[in-house]
Amino acid sequence: MNCDNRKGISRRDFLRRGVLIGGAVTLGSPVINLAGCGSDDDGGPAAEADLRNGSDSGAVLMGLYPSSQIPDAEQAVRLACAELDWSWLTPGDTVFVKLACNSGNSHPAVTSPAAVRTVCSEILERGAGRVFAGDQAGVESVRLTAEMGQVGSTRELMEGNGLLEAIVQAGAEPHFFDEQGYEDGYVEATLDFGAPQWSEPPRIARIVTEVDHIVMLPRLSSHAITGCTLGHKCAVGWLRDDYRYLLHFNGGAIHQLYTEVNYCREIRNRLRLTLTLAEQVLLDRGPDAGTIAEADPRIVLASKHLSNHDAVGVAAMAFIDDLTPAAPWPPFRYSENADLGNQMLIRVLIPVKYGAPWGDRDMADYTLVEYSDYQQGIASDPALTRAYEILGGVPSTIPVRWVGEEPSSEFRSFLEGHNGGIFNPNG
């Protein structure tokens, strides 16, 4: 795997330094979550009910599972899944599980196979008729165009990084957009919200119209062009090749464009859950390579509210990154010069690799990618800013319910103070 330059947060360091779980908490101590001591006065039980009963509270579950107590990553996901509301799923329903597989590299450059095995199995065990799982990799590795047809293969990439095996082992059905046909495999998205940035509706993978529900399984990762890649950024995988080009060509709106895809009617009306298992976190560069922070305790984030999931996720990334000394590698770290990477992709990388220009727009009309200072909070994150605009505004509070091991006082304090105090780790 290319992303093998590891920062100073090892499994031992996470536990020794107590950066996520409380150093004074002994093994086997009672689980501390937003329910507190069970009093109705502290708001904890209400937050727990919100997550379970499918209301619109937007609560985010954060599970912390130390390997010393939960050695199996799949067991950690099972424990988190037991805390979630599954009332949306009825016997015989069809579900598409959207993965993040930009390349053939392994986790954290892609979704954790442990998350895929566990979530797909969980959905089937709860009565789903059929579960499909897949994605289409990034244009650096896979293309599907009207002129060239399919070049490269997401299936082959997933054979190498363990995701295909995880899909099959769970009893789900692999589904890769690059195998579905340039015309037949895609439908026009319905952007029925105010002032979309897309000049024309993008074409997205047809399967979103053929299933009852969608579950997304992102990862926690930085991104050399957009700053970070969590749930919203996964939407690029839905897009047909020509609309991926338009996304990159309109660099000044790139964050808004991929965010809007998530809120098209076809996806918005089917998205039930976004769940991230972080066994490792990819920092500094991404999406395929960078520096790896080992996550112990493993982190499981889950919410039916995509924007709140991502808001808590980037906050956790900011906390981990703050604790981790900068490494001398990679040389192209995410910075205010991120637009250079986007232009290199359009002007050089894709044309050289495939022997033809990518798209037909005049570069004189190209717009520069906006720097995303996402670690500072929602107001500095153009993707989250756009998401909450579509949703009608940033909520006054985002409930965070802890499960698994108790967080350290440092991590809890960080979340309580981050982004103007919007996160409520007490429910």
Tokens of 83: 């805390």
pLDDT tops 50 at residue 321 = yes
Q: If we measure between CA atoms, which residue out of 322, 269, 152, 293 comes closest to residue 219?
A: 293
Q: Provide CB contacts within 8 A for 219, sequence distance 6+.
A: 100, 107, 108, 109, 110, 111, 112, 229, 230, 276, 278, 282
**What is the dotted CATH code of the domain comprising 5-24+59-400?**
3.40.50.11440
Q: What is the pLDDT of residue 168?
A: 98
Pick 36 or 107 by higher pLDDT: 107
Work out the pLDDT band at 336, boundaries 50, 70, 90. Answer: confident
Work out the pLDDT band at 29, boundaries 50, 70, 90. Answer: very low
Give the domain ranges of the chain.
5-24+59-400
Q: If we measure between CA atoms, which residue out of 46, 105, 21 comes closest to residue 292?
A: 105
Q: If we measure between CA atoms, which residue out of 268, 304, 269, 407 comes closest to residue 51?
A: 304
Mean per-residue pLDDT, 254-271: 98
Percent of the chain's residues with pLDDT above 90? 78
Q: What is the pLDDT of residues 138-148, one digit of tens each?
A: 999 999 999 99
Work out the pLDDT band at 330, boundaries 50, 70, 90. Answer: low
Work out the pLDDT band at 425, boundaries 50, 70, 90. Answer: confident
pLDDT tops 60 at residue 1 = no
Is the CA virtual torsion 287, 378, 414, 271 positive or negative?
negative
Q: What is the pLDDT of residues 274-287, one digit of tens each?
A: 999 999 999 988 99
Work out the pLDDT band at 43, boundaries 50, 70, 90. Answer: very low
pLDDT tops 60 at residue 163 = yes
pLDDT tops 90 at residue 10 = no
DSSP state of 351: H
Least confident of 11-25, 287-301, 334-348: 11-25
Mean per-residue pLDDT, 358-376: 96
Q: What is the pLDDT of residues 85-120, one digit of tens each?
A: 999 999 999 999 999 999 999 999 999 999 999 999
